[in-house]
Amino acid sequence: MAPARDSQRIIGIDPGLNITGYGLIHVEAIAISLQEAGVIRLPRSAQASLPERLDALFEELRRLLKEFRPEQMCLEDVYSHRFYPQTAILMSHARGVICLAARQAGIPVISLSAKRIKQSVTGNGNASKLQVQRAVRHFFSLERTPHPPDVADALAAALCFANAQRMAARGWPAGRRLLVESPRIAI
């Protein structure tokens, strides 16, 4: 993992074929601030084929990357549940398109497991979506809980990477948490 710079923009992405969450944070030596967060909604009509939806995701993501010019992208790994293997296959399509958009924009992609992200922001690798939403709300002192959960998941991915970089820059061993920088929220 590259050492943390004095200032950088990190975009977190929570991939999906209906809704893809994104969150852009600005990391400075002593502060992390929220710059932009939202969702990319893809066409859900019966007429929208998978290639059309992937094209819409690719084009919207390219527009976001061009507008915000992040220096890093954090992308949640695809999770596969044994009862729903088709979902993982479909999510892989979205993830591939996201990686391609980042590659074309010259942005390195960092893959993070959902457990690692949850552990970083809540202190519990098995945290619920609501716990992640509350942790993100608390960290950024937001008036409301980020909704839909995809937004909070994307911001949590960016925060996880930012915290890992800061710890590496301080010479702390991997896996150690900074409670000040990734607050634990009791639910």
Query: CB-hemisphere CA count at 13 Å for 144?
Result: 5
Active site residue: 76, 77, 143, 181, which one?
76
H or E element, residue 26 = strand 19-28
Could you tell me if residue 43 is left (phi over 0), alpha (psi between -120 and 50 degrees) or otherwise beta? beta
> What does the radius of gyration of the chain's CA atoms come to, in whole angstroms?
16
For residue 35, give the H/E element and its range: strand 32-41
The reply to whether 77 belongs to the active site is no
Catalytic residue among 59, 150, 153, 181: 150
The C-alpha angle 82, 146, 73, rounded to 5 degrees, equals 65
Active site residue 76: yes
In the set 6, 14, 36, 67, the catalytic residue is 14
153 is catalytic: no
List residues with catalytic annotation.
Answer: 14, 76, 150
